[in-house]
Structure 1
Amino acid sequence: MGMSLYHSATGSQSPHCIHAVGLGKTGAYMVEALLRTGEIEDMLDDKRARFTGLSIDIGEQDQHELKEYAGGFTQRLEERDIPTDRHQVRTVSLDVPSSEDLRTSLNRWREYLKMEYPRYYWNPNYEPWLPADTEMPKPGESCPRAIAKAIYGHYYYGGDKTLEKELDLFVDSINKTKLPSMVLVFFSLAGGTGSGMVVDMVRHLSNVKLGRRIPVIGVGVLPFSGDEEHAGGEAALFPVINEIDCMLDDAKNQGVTAVWGDLYKNPFTGGFLALPQEHSWQRLGSYTKTGTPAIRDGLRKGVTRKFVTDSFTRFVVQDYGRLLFKMLRPAGFTGAPHERNISGDRTWTLFDVAKYTHPGVEVLPGEARGKWREVVSKWMEYIPRWSGLKEGFKTDYIEVNTVGPREMWNDTLQKKLESVLGEYVLDGDDGTLISTNGEFFDELTCYSNIIIPGVAKTDLTAFYAARDAYDAIESWDEKLLMHSWLLDLGVILSEQSIRFDGMAGECIWGCACWVVVPHEAIRGDALPSADITEVQSAHIAAMVQTVVATP
């Protein structure tokens, strides 16, 4: 029997339907992971519910597993007598267009934007951002972001508008849902295809098709130290972080919309989660030292990604989507309108999967419980090192959900975890640490899902490493290929404006295209807020003066 939408006595929220778009290889893997959880099909037992999944990639080489699991998912629904029309899972494998066909689309780009947004400024200086002799990537090769953007637009705006039709089908399915919905947008922050397409795709999905009425949650997977080389290398992560940050950060986003209009308002209406993978990678790398290096490393990388992906998806589908809804509330994205407070430059949320044990490694079944706990305690100590946060970071709220065998966890481990995470929490009553526990189906695995809101881009160690790598690139053409968002408007966001002193956004056509965002804020040189409480206190300072004291 389906529950009512709201229980006034308990305050329990209704079930929430989770829908997902995956871009690139990482996106396909994460949509597939959702289907493997089991909870999605449980949700569809409620006749009001639907699940909608969409994977978009260049080539089909990374979508085979998703297609296979989608077929198995349909079969499982049939076995449970759940109508299969309650779900829709589609995969779109894009061909790399010829240079001539892509050039035709690029030449018409102003027409496309004018039809989409009548207030769009028809720039007479417009030229395609890709040179005519740009070499197209082959299927399976890493795709530079600027090319991925062009390929996405070619299939969204041009020809038979393949991708616009797919987004329409995706939204139509969501609109048939009789329960509240949330949309997850999965992609790799390091990969060129996903990060190159997402900036336009999520704008079309959230701001155009959904009309900003449903929470759209970005889920960007961070690279790890053993990751493969992507187009642009480590340097490409610098423009990616800056472009996402100029969507999320209220002040920066206003600086973009002031020039280019409301169509460029932050499309991630449900917030943005960044997923580090380093802890899982290091845990696996600590024992896989034998065998053929290439095979060994390939297995390590695959298991690292799958563990983080599976851990995240298992978490967000709990309690019929209610847990995800509640998790986003402290960050200010799923509360009532009167509860919403500004997050300023601290709109990133970190979702760190800290892996403590692995089957058959360091300790074996049957050994003393104390040895198991010693291993778990040791790997807890690595959380600050591999979380991806710089030293000194503080926030007002952290939520941690630890999963492991029921007989392993005790007060000693609990206190150790609270001590480690307490370094990130504001002192005294200004900080809150919520800890819960769950049981894993594998008795030999123990890990924690750590949710840390109130993060600024300058708190991410990856930001500084990417900035240094970006600064080492001398070629302007190489830097252009690392960008995506606003390129069609003539703006290279991470470069300094030529016309407007101190502002960001170099114009690729030499005219006055820019954004009202200080370049030092893009570079990370501007003094950030101390923590989220400082941001919010400043925002409501005038209102606080109206508070009436009571006896």
Structure 2
Amino acid sequence: MSSNVGLDIQRGRPLPAIGTTEAKLQQRKLDALRRGVHRIKDHTELPFGIHLVGVGGAGSSVIEEFLKSAPADLLDKEGSRFTALAVDIGDGNLEKVRAAASRFPEGRSQIETASLELPVMDELQSSIANFADFLKLEYPLYHPNEGSTSWLPSDVPLRAKDGSVHRAVSKAVYGRAYYDDGRPMQKALKRFAASVEKTGGDSIVCIVFGLAGGTGSGIAMDLARHLSSLHFGRRVLVTGVGIAPHPDEVSVEKLARLHTVFSELDVLCDETKNKGITLSCGDLFKNPFTAGFMLIPQSANVGPEEARQEVSTRLANILTERRGANLWETLRLLNWVAAPSTQHSAARTPWGARWIHMIGSAADSNGSSNRDLRADLGLLNDYQPEFLELRTSATIADTEKQAWTEALDSAFQPEAPTCATDGGSPGVVQYLLPRLALKDLAVFEGARDAYDAADLKDRHSEHALLLDQGILLCEPSTSFEGMAGAGLGGGSQWIAVPRVQLRGEYE
């Protein structure tokens, strides 16, 4: 957490005799926030260039809602283009995406779905047996170990007790479609990248998935790596968008799954941990989310079905509002104003352990003063941001805007008063909470405890990211004491990530 020593936040200047260089730099950032240096003043001529990959049911639903609700003139400006790819195991969630795609002009859009088959275990094992050869072609420095071709136990059921697909199985299904069996996923990502690069202006790619879903979270990490590092060559901004589960739907099994998902995102998005991965596994495991990672909570104040629809609708609105300018302003805000005070303004922001940025939303007349905002968002009391930004519509009553500003200040006590701006959807307020750590999430410790209580077979089946490297990320290292990452099959593969950091067991 940044220090406000030497700052008079209310008056906007360094305090006399305590005006350290760090404090002055910090004050300049907060002054820049008030001036709105991240704002796009004229969005009317902005070419639309936001593109979507939706993985699993949650990600596909966001694309569906985007296609149904996007303004008819979204792509009218010269240079505008929209590319979407919805990926799922099975076709059940994809039919509506294809039906809604007809609204978009073919010359300025490309909308595809990829329905991945869930084969029998023998077919998956046959593809996995060839993974070492596939990965050598992709990355010549790849060195397989004994566990890298047997990472999916043959006795693991394809589906979990709740009917969802285990993450390890989803990874295998995606890997088979990317490397083997005619390579349909590799071809789909190649077409997606080619379409994005036809955009006449700047582009952002958002990869959207559910954090507790076995399909979305099991596929998204590898898909993001392939798209960002291989197909884009890390030249295009890629943002991860993870949709948190509704509190009423968090079973013990999903909690255990969340721990592996959190851990895999942590070793990608935390620069220090990520270096501990690439040292061993290579540059293809660099953080693929080059524009950061957004967490979208589901409100505990409504039921699961209503919350899911709210998330899909409001996220689609964020992406289309002001021709995408709101998302661009959010990324500018995070990389300019929220950056460390010692960082050069042209540098990409290193977030460290605080790599999560949360976007909350609610109906603008939904009784802000009567809400426990921290509990609603699933945040612990220790989180205190440097700043908050509240976005409302131009039609909101001044009294309601003031009520929300005061509610956010009271709930989170930011170092600078909440900054309010307009440009949002009518009837809805959105607010950005920057720089959260996993330890700030109320669900984090429960997820870790549920993982520890599960048996090894179940813990194994909910891993994904490093399995093809022969590593169980969340288990103790079999090579170095105190590190994370157990080698599979007696292999000697390793990573340089302290396990206590991965588990949040530090002060």
TM-score by length of 1: 0.79
Are 1:116 and 2:138 counterparts? yes
User: Equivalent residue for 1:65?
Assistant: 96
User: Equivalent residue for 1:501?
Assistant: 481
Residue deviations 1:200-238, cap 9 Å, x none? 0000000110011111111100011222759x3221101
Are 1:512 and 2:492 counterparts? yes
**Residue 97 to residue 144, structure 1, CA distance change in 2 (3 Å):** same
Whether contact under 8 Å (1:354, 1:383) holds in the other structure is no
User: Equivalent residue for 2:170?
Assistant: 148
Are 1:160 and 2:203 counterparts? no
Return the alpha-carbon distance in structure 1 between the equivalents of residues 56 and 387 of structure 2: 32
Letter in 2 for 1:30: V
Whether contact under 8 Å (2:47, 2:75) holds in the other structure is no
User: Equivalent residue for 1:36?
Assistant: 68
Residue deviations 1:435-490, cap 9 Å, x none? 1245755xxxx4421211111111111211211211221x1110001110101111
Return the alpha-carbon distance in structure 2 between the equivalents of residues 145 and 120 of structure 1: 23
Are 1:186 and 2:208 counterparts? yes
Return the alpha-carbon distance in structure 2 between the equivalents of residues 255 and 454 of structure 1: 21
User: Equivalent residue for 1:532?
Assistant: none
Whether contact under 8 Å (2:322, 2:423) holds in the other structure is no
Return the alpha-carbon distance in structure 2 between the equivalents of residues 393 and 218 of structure 1: 22
User: How many residues are aligned here?
Assistant: 461
**Residue 91 to residue 340, structure 1, CA distance change in 2 (3 Å):** closer
Task: Indicate the SS of the match to 1:258.
Answer: helix
Residue deviations 1:389-445, cap 9 Å, x none? 1102111121112349x3x6233x333322322246566xx535221245755xxxx
Residue deviations 1:298-317, cap 9 Å, x none? xx433221112111221222
User: Equivalent residue for 1:268?
Assistant: 289
**Residue 153 to residue 388, structure 1, CA distance change in 2 (3 Å):** same
1:275-294 matched pairs, under 5 angstroms? 275-279=296-300, 282=301, 284=302
TM-score by length of 2: 0.85
Whether contact under 8 Å (1:330, 1:397) holds in the other structure is no
Return the alpha-carbon distance in structure 2 between the equivalents of residues 333 and 59 of structure 1: 41
Residue 96 of structure 1, CA deviation: 0.9
Residue 102 of structure 1, CA deviation: 1.0
Letter in 2 for 1:457: L
Higher RCO (CA < 8 A, seq sep 6+)? 2
Whether contact under 8 Å (2:238, 2:290) holds in the other structure is yes
Return the alpha-carbon distance in structure 2 between the equivalents of residues 312 and 65 of structure 1: 18
Residue deviations 1:345-376, cap 9 Å, x none? 1111001123465xxxxxxxxxxxxxxxxx62
Greater Cα offset, 62-71 or 201-210: 62-71
Letter in 1 for 2:348: R
Identity %: 32
Residue 340 of structure 1, CA deviation: 3.3
Letter in 1 for 2:49: C
Whether contact under 8 Å (1:496, 1:506) holds in the other structure is yes
Residue deviations 1:250-303, cap 9 Å, x none? 111111111111110000011111111024xx2x3xxxxxxxxxxxxxxx4332
Residue 69 of structure 1, CA deviation: 1.1
User: Equivalent residue for 1:314?
Assistant: 317
1:94-243 matched pairs, under 5 angstroms? 94-124=116-146, 126-137=148-159, 141-227=163-249, 232-243=253-264
Are 1:54 and 2:34 counterparts? no
Return the alpha-carbon distance in structure 2 between the equivalents of residues 395 and 440 of structure 1: 25
Give the one of 354, 358, 361 matched to 2:362: 354
**Residue 123 to residue 26, structure 1, CA distance change in 2 (3 Å):** same
Whether contact under 8 Å (1:396, 1:432) holds in the other structure is no
User: Equivalent residue for 2:460?
Assistant: 480
Whether contact under 8 Å (1:498, 1:506) holds in the other structure is yes
User: Equivalent residue for 1:460?
Assistant: 441
**Residue 329 to residue 424, structure 1, CA distance change in 2 (3 Å):** farther
User: Equivalent residue for 2:28?
Assistant: none
User: Equivalent residue for 1:526?
Assistant: 506
**Residue 137 to residue 426, structure 1, CA distance change in 2 (3 Å):** closer
**Residue 353 to residue 327, structure 1, CA distance change in 2 (3 Å):** same
Specify every segment of 5 or more residues in structure 1 that has no aligned partner in the other structure, as ranges. Answer: 1-9, 78-83, 285-299, 358-374, 528-551
